[in-house]
Chain A
């Protein structure tokens, strides 16, 4: 079977990629090209394999390894294939991008990075395809460890090491919960094979425990608020193409895990499961985007925006679970396709912006937006690609972000059908309003990210000396940007894929969404439904632009005079430009209860008294969850440890004393019965 060969081919390529670095370790340039080419081939295989699975049905392989814990099985059904496709597409782009970007690392342990890059891809494809609990957890751990090393790659910087350790700590807390969830299931099912876990009969109490463990466990990896604190530290620390993969793909493996649990293992749950997910989702979305907006480090901004997008994805999943509980098959289809459509979209536009940010970082050597500016003239192509990414993240039509946002809105709009009564109505209205707030904040946030980085005049010497990225990086970004536009204008392609993805899940019906005319995006729910045509709107937009052009040219040619920007008669200089901190000032003020900020103005008086003073304005943010949850927890742990220290003095006599004491107590206690 072709799909099977392709699958083996993919595993082989990634494994060869890991080994190839040992053979080429003396020549960094050769390592770069060989290792990343092999990764690219592997990703192409992954894409092909996923496509074959979509057309030919699911793929099952039994591998005779891992014998002590049972046979390790590979099973690529629709859901796995969807995520395999995602890894393949984004991985292919980042592999091409890596050719150019890795030149930065010729002197900085490139072979290690290239090998780990292949291992990272390998572990991710294994996570989404294996169908055995032990194998899943091993792959999951491998993924966490490999990404830990990649985050810690530039360990010379103290901040990176710290980020990496917070990451590994948080991800392990998550893994603990995942293992608990899996083991509870395995005990009930009496098997560690995914096939047998499906529809396991566990009592309701156990099922709820498993649900909560899965939410916490996978939520930590996905970056759900308040478990997100590792994410904005770890993602910026990794090299940019790894950040793109981590944000675009690795977070999605957690979404895969959640879908597996909710759709496959646990079956249809009570309605409050969906409600819990919805509440978490909207908190995640709003907090994520608020923190993104007030950030001025461009990669941290992108990382926080990933938190926000995970929130939007979870909104779709939560709504879908509510509909599943109420047997609303079409609406469940709309909600889950909203979630997975957004999974794909976010993978595309976030990796695109991360790659753009990497290009900026490589040529301007700073991630701080306050020092950038004017790059649209130095890096015209990168600017165009970043603009496409920014517009897609802001969910503007006709780009892909809008389609999934629209589907999410539709899913929320029909929530009152499942949650009857006033609570359902108010709840769903609030969710819609907050999603709107999130959308508008995301738009502001990416206006800031693009506008401050690329527009106006360079704010520092570094930005002035920036040059355009190399061709391979531009090709990679161009590919992804093209996909963003394509999936926006022609959503039926993705919906067809999604229909195949959900083929095995009976509670979800996508026929309403897919069996329409090619240019439509619509579904019907009884009398009502939703219906838009993005192609139609594109035509309307083009006509509008044509009218504007005709009006523009109605009086013949115009003469354009150059005149400096108006700054009240002073010669303009970059210090007058708006900064990222300034741009978000009004939002910081309004949301000051959530976003505690301390601003400090530093004044240095110049030696010449008549000339004026230098002012430095600095804003420090106190994060709500850090101050409410993590800091008290830290302090409690340290306090307990300090208390324990006074017991644990190191004196053997005292220890013998303790043992005596305990023995006496045990003796007394045992004689009483």
Chain B
């Protein structure tokens, strides 16, 4: 039963993920005084790509064809672990499992980026791993505030613990720390620019440069799912109030929209930083997490 519910949740998030991506794009366009494309444009793009044929390099091996599936499956499995509807703690995984499921997808995608033998792919892959190396400790540290308090790494218990504890300064520090991680992990400005195709700056886009058609659709969709997983984690762990009960879904959606708005504002008001400034950016996150631990 639990398994079935988790799958349903994953499917729901799969369907809603492109919408959130579309909304962020729309808000960004509005902030830049553009009309922007429809919020459903991401769906149209995905459907278009799913109907297209692929062009595949003769250099690639089976890793190239398998990677999109694993990336997709990893993101979907991670999305089923986020505690949205049930707080019983009866999940199949905890925060570490979630992090490593995302790592599983990334592992294969970076391998695929090396597979085609182009310098762009390798550069994108190397940078992606570089950022992953910096993000991982920051992510775990920002979780520590809640994990130590709840004395468990189970996401369900963590959420119920945060809900039952008084609001404190520590959470604000931890929330900001996690937000920085969220930006880095979802490949947003100032860490990566999701809209660019300039070879000197692209990270995620460079990695998937060789993909086309249906495989590209799977990867883009999985990236959208990964983004919503990170946003939901932020919402359930740092803004968990009022999401249980009948009106919970509406509240949840409002909060996700709020976070989407913050991301869009952050993206329009800053510019992309140099790659080697990213460690400093994430070091800020680490320091905030440590401060949160001290303040707790």
Contact = CB atoms under 8 A, between A and B. Distances in A.
Centre residue among B56, B121, B133 by max chain A CB count within 10 A: B133
Given A429-B144, A585-B126, A397 B94 contact: no
Centre residue among B92, B103, B106 by max chain A CB count within 10 A: B92
Contacts of A376: 61-63
Contacts of B221: 551
Contacts of B3: 536, 539-540
A56 B11 CA distance: 50
Contacts of B84: none
Contacts of A552: 50, 214-215, 218
B39 to A, nearest CB: 21
Nearest to A530: B153
Interface in A550-602: 551-552, 554-555, 558-567, 572, 574, 576-578, 582-587, 589-590
Contacts of A583: 122, 125-126, 129
A457 B117 contact: yes
B76 A536 contact: no
B56 A560 contact: yes
A619 interface: no
Given A402-B100, A590-B279, A439 B136 contact: yes
A544 interface: yes
A639 to B, nearest CB: 40
Interface in B199-217: 209-210, 213-215, 217
B7 A543 contact: yes
A426 B292 CA distance: 10
A540 B6 contact: yes
A447 B107 contact: yes
Nearest to B225: A544
B132 A444 contact: yes
Contacts of A416: 148
B56 A544 contact: no
B150 A396 contact: no
A482 interface: no
Interface in B110-140: 110-111, 114-123, 125-127, 129-130, 132-140
A667 interface: no
A32 B10 CA distance: 55
Interface string A424-437: 01101100111111
A428 B139 CA distance: 15
B73 A548 contact: yes
A334 to B, nearest CB: 12
B53 interface: yes
A548 B126 contact: no
B130 A587 contact: yes
Contacts, number: 282
Contacts of B118: 565-567, 572, 576-577
B276 A577 contact: no
A470 interface: no
A162 interface: no
Contacts of A551: 50, 214, 217-218, 221
A616 interface: no
A456 interface: yes
A440 B134 CA distance: 8
B70 interface: yes
Contacts of B72: 544-545, 547-548
Given A396-B100, A413-B148, A549-B69, A457 B59 contact: yes
A104 to B, nearest CB: 27
Given A429-B289, A456-B117, A552-B218, A532 B93 contact: yes
B267 to A, nearest CB: 23
B92 A537 contact: yes
Given A413-B148, A540-B10, A543-B7, A455 B53 contact: no
Contact of A455 (B2, B10, B61, B141): B61
Given A429-B293, A536-B3, A562-B58, A577 B117 contact: yes
Contacts of A625: none
B242 interface: no
B259 interface: no
B137 to A, nearest CB: 4
Interface string B140-170: 1100100110111110010000000000000
B74 interface: yes
30 contacts: A376-B62, A376-B63, A391-B107, A410-B153, A413-B147, A428-B144, A433-B286, A443-B103, A452-B114, A456-B116, A526-B151, A531-B90, A531-B94, A532-B91, A532-B93, A532-B94, A540-B10, A543-B10, A547-B72, A548-B68, A548-B72, A548-B73, A552-B218, A558-B53, A561-B56, A562-B56, A574-B117, A583-B125, A584-B126, A590-B134
State the 5 A-B residue pairs at the shortest beta-carbon distance, nearest first: A578-B122, A544-B73, A536-B92, A456-B117, A544-B76
Given A528-B150, A532-B93, A578-B125, 12 more contacts: A433-B138, A436-B139, A440-B135, A455-B115, A456-B115, A540-B10, A543-B73, A544-B72, A551-B218, A561-B56, A565-B116, A578-B122
